[in-house]
Structure 1
């Protein structure tokens, strides 16, 4: 699995202009099973995405489709980890 930390590098007006396209991109990735959790940071200077287990090349290709990435509005820090514990009642997504 991956934690993707997005940090805004563009002007907030540029972020706002690209936000609808970014949200559509997120919806597509949730529908495809690539993303599990996503939301803005507090304070709102970026966001966090939890991505399913996949090859890193596939994840990089998915991130390249993000309008924020295409417009160079964010910096991504990507942390891969192996989830070994989970709170009761939650299920880990299957590897794809």
Structure 2
């Protein structure tokens, strides 16, 4: 299990210019079962993606194709973790 932390490197107007392509990118990887949840950071300085992938390297290859990254308006940190507890609604994530 991975957390991807996106950090904006450009003004919001530049971020918004790439938002449609970023959302299409997200949709593609939701359909493939790689992305499990995502959303904006508060305040709006980036975003967070909860993901499942074979390895950090495999996920890095995916994330590096995000239009936010390819355009240079954001950077991404990938954090791997092993869920050991969750509320009942998220219990399927434990032990993955």
| TM-score, length-scaled by structure 1 | 0.89
1:11 has 2:11 as partner: yes
Q: Gaps (5+ residues) in structure 1?
A: none
Which shows bigger deviation, 1-10 or 49-58? Answer: 49-58
The residue matched to 2:88 in structure 1 has which SS? coil
> How far is the alpha carbon of 1:11 from its aligned partner?
2.1
Question: In the alignment, what sits opposite 1:92?
Answer: 93
Q: CA RMSD in A?
A: 1.7
Give 4+ residue runs of structure 1 displaced > 4 Å after superposition: none
> How far is the alpha carbon of 1:93 from its aligned partner?
8.4
Given that residues 52 and 93 in structure 1 are in contact (C-alpha distance below 8 angstroms), is that contact kept between their aligned partners in structure 2? no
Count of aligned pairs: 95
For residues 39-58 of structure 1, the aligned pairs below 5 Å read 39-58=39-58
For residues 32-71 of structure 1, the aligned pairs below 5 Å read 32-71=32-71
Given that residues 60 and 78 in structure 2 are in contact (C-alpha distance below 8 angstroms), is that contact kept between their aligned partners in structure 1? no
* Separation of aligned partners in 2, 1:80 and 1:64: 16
* Separation of aligned partners in 2, 1:94 and 1:22: 30
Q: Gaps (5+ residues) in structure 2?
A: none
* Separation of aligned partners in 2, 1:53 and 1:64: 14
The residue matched to 1:36 in structure 2 has which SS? strand
Given that residues 3 and 51 in structure 2 are in contact (C-alpha distance below 8 angstroms), is that contact kept between their aligned partners in structure 1? yes
